[in-house]
Structure 1
Amino acid sequence: MAFGVSDELLGTFVPIVVYWIYSGIYVMLGDMNDYRLHTKAEEDTKNVVSKRTVVKGVLVQQAFQIAVSLILFTFVSESSGGAIRPQPAFWVTVLQFVVAMVVMDTWQYFMHRLMHVNKFLYKHVHSKHHTLVVPYAFGALYNHPLEGLILDTIGGAISFLISGMTPRTAIFFFSFATVKTVDDHCGLWLPGNLLHILFNNNSAYHDIHHQLYGTKYNFSQPFFVAWDKILGTYMPYSLEKRKGGGFEARPIKKAH
């Protein structure tokens, strides 16, 4: 297996390093009780899997991710005759970034929703992710390996191919998508968080989905909320201060 430049390898491994560094920052911040969406006691009692199990599960998914990524980059390299693809103009790169975001959102919305609608898939596949009723940062990719392959790995490959981005652009895109996914599961509402300012799909929005009343809503991930709004699965919420510290995302729409 040969690559013309190291961008392919960087595109494979940098997002994984980013995952553990960014989620590690949240771990180092400590309990952050004044900014939590759930109390520490709820995290300890409602989640039915140990953090050691979560780490092992994430590493398994990332192993699959590495394998598929290397195969994909090999295919792209061979299809271009091993030639190094020139980096396009900046505006083209931005357009590719946006296209990849839309494609990934579309793929993950419909696959994620299918995982909930299909009782077999939910029971045997997606329910593993929902054992984290109270999400935390390094549990963002705690999934059944099949779910990780379908939603994240294949979704990422499709985004890469349809957008036409180069392996160098892919380094930044997949690193950004990784940061966004970790942030959505961090369980915190931090003041000044740019991702919360720029995106309505955020930690509070996704927390609604992880609660029992929200499992039929807020399927969109990781960037926008458009598909939820278009297809009637959007559950708005209010963010209110919780007695004793922290915040609580409360649904406004009555769940059926």
Structure 2
Amino acid sequence: MASLMSGDSCHVVEDEPCCHPIVDDNESTEIEAKEPKKNRVKQSIHKSFFILGGVIIIFAAIRNTLTWHLQKCWGASGDFWQALWVKVFDYFEGDAFIIGFIGTNLVACITFWALNAFFLFMDITGRPAFLRRYKIQEGKNDPVSRPQLMKALKVVLFNQFVVTSMYSLLCMPIVQWRGDCILRELPTVHWVLVELAVFLIFEEIGFYYSHRMLHHPMFYKHIHKLHHEWTSPIGLTAIYAHPVEHVLSSLIPATLGPIIMGSHIATIWMWFVMVISSAVNAHCGYHLPFFPSPEAHDFHHLKFTNCFGTLGILDRLHGTDILFRKSKQYDRHILLTSLTPLSSTFPDSPKRSK
């Protein structure tokens, strides 16, 4: 791991071992011994309620506010979202392939590239300059290496248009067997909130355990190592991965909840927007004001042995956040509600002179 902290743009690891141990070094093992498992279980339960409750409350508030403004500006009568969905449904005559396959992949692509257009512009041009101060790993990808960017782009496009499309086609019969998800009537907002909670739980479980499995020596060198070429990730690398990893850790965890719940296609679209936005933000390399904190997953790319999950619940339960909780990145792992970068509020400790 000698080259992990090098100054190259994307920090491709050449001499790292074939895997990175899931159990941390002696220091973290001692900390884990001092911290009873009972405390971790209790904290993980508290964190579950806090995260799930917060997401539900925020979603409900945003939906009500956005609905009110759209109805007022567009003069819509009745339920705005239902009326809008009926127009989409009727225009395509409820066609399962157009709405279920093409529509779903289109929503995913638009979300992914709309967000990455913003981050790629910053990574390539370094503008706007005032946003560079929110960079998590200062001096890394400044600017991003063009050859490595092109390599990542090829992998991303293959995963997005070949692997994801094939997975979607395979999922369609399963979704249809589970229940008709393309209906003219939208589900109630209360049911959508219940579904979102279920989606979050299954994504956390699916991603955490598949991710830890890919760090096993049997899988790391041949599959997961590609994704970890970037020790300072950028938004595009959210799906820069081996196709097997893309299916196991990205697609399956995101679709588990909707398949189990037999969700409406509109709910699935909304969920995919949330999942993709979260993944791009987690890899973007910037801790921007009013954006969810990407510190945990950025720390995972830097250190390899901590922060395997999406919500942090199972990391707390299994103790795979010990090093992270002792770091400055953990102090910065909050929602930034001011314009002062958290690297200034919680500066790195001065390095000891040898």
Same fold (TM over 0.5): yes
Shift in alpha-carbon separation, 1:55–1:95, aligned structure 2, 3 A: same
**Equivalent residue, structure 1, for 2:120:** 27
Q: CA deviation at 1:89?
A: 1.4
Amino acid across the alignment from 2:314: W
Q: Does structure 2 retain, via aligned residues, the 8 Å contact 1:37–1:249?
A: no
Letter in 1 for 2:237: G
Q: Residue 167 in 1 paired to residue 260 in 2?
A: no
What's the Cα RMSD here?
2.9
Q: Give the one of 207, 217, 221 matched to 2:298.
A: 207
Q: Which residue of 1 aligns with 2:201?
A: 102
Matched with 1:232 is 319
Larger radius of gyration: 2
Whole-angstrom CA distance in 1 between matches of 2:218 and 2:145: 22
Q: Distance in 1 between matches of 2:312 and 2:348?
A: 17
Partner of 1:53, secondary structure, is helix
Match of 1:122 in 2: 220
Name the amino acid aligned to 1:68. Answer: Y
**Which residue type is aligned with residue 116 of structure 2?**
S
Identity %: 21
- Equivalent pairs counted in the alignment come to 234
**1:178 partnered with 2:253:** no
CA contact (8 A) 2:96 2:182 kept: no
User: Aligned partner of 1:228: which letter?
Assistant: D
Specify the alignment match of 1:254 in structure 2: none
What is the TM-score of this pair, normalised by structure 1? 0.81
Deviations 1:61-82 (A, max 9, x none): 1121122123323442366479
| Match of residue 169 from structure 2 | 70
Measured against aligned partners, the alpha-carbon deviations of 1:79-111 in whole angstroms (never above 9, x if no partner) come to 647973743211101110111111011100001
Runs of 4+ in 1 over 4 A off after TM superposition: 44-49, 78-83, 248-251
- Offset of 1:55 from its aligned partner? 0.7
- Aligned-pair distance for 1:172? 0.7
CA change 1:188–1:79 in 2 (3 A) is closer
1:87 maps to what in 2? 186
Q: 1:45 to 1:215 in 2, by over 3 A?
A: farther
- Distance in 2, matches of 1:4 and 1:121, equals 35
**Structure 2: how far apart are the matches of 1:85 and 1:250?**
54
- Corresponding residue to 2:106 among 1, 10, 13: 13
Match of 1:157 among 239, 252, 255: 255
Task: Give the counterpart letter for 1:174 in structure 2.
Answer: F
Structure-2 separation of matches of 1:83 and 1:246: 44
Which residue does the alignment assign to 1:218? 307
Listed as ranges, the gaps of 5+ residues in structure 1 are 197-202, 252-256
For the residue of structure 2 that corresponds to 1:129, the secondary structure is helix
Do the aligned partners of residues 80 and 52 (structure 1) sit closer, same or farther apart at CA in structure 2, a change above 3 Å counting?
A: same
Deviation at 1:159, TM superposition (A): 2.2
Equivalent residue of 1:43, what SS?
A: coil
2:179, 2:262 within 8 Å by CA — same for their partners in 1? no
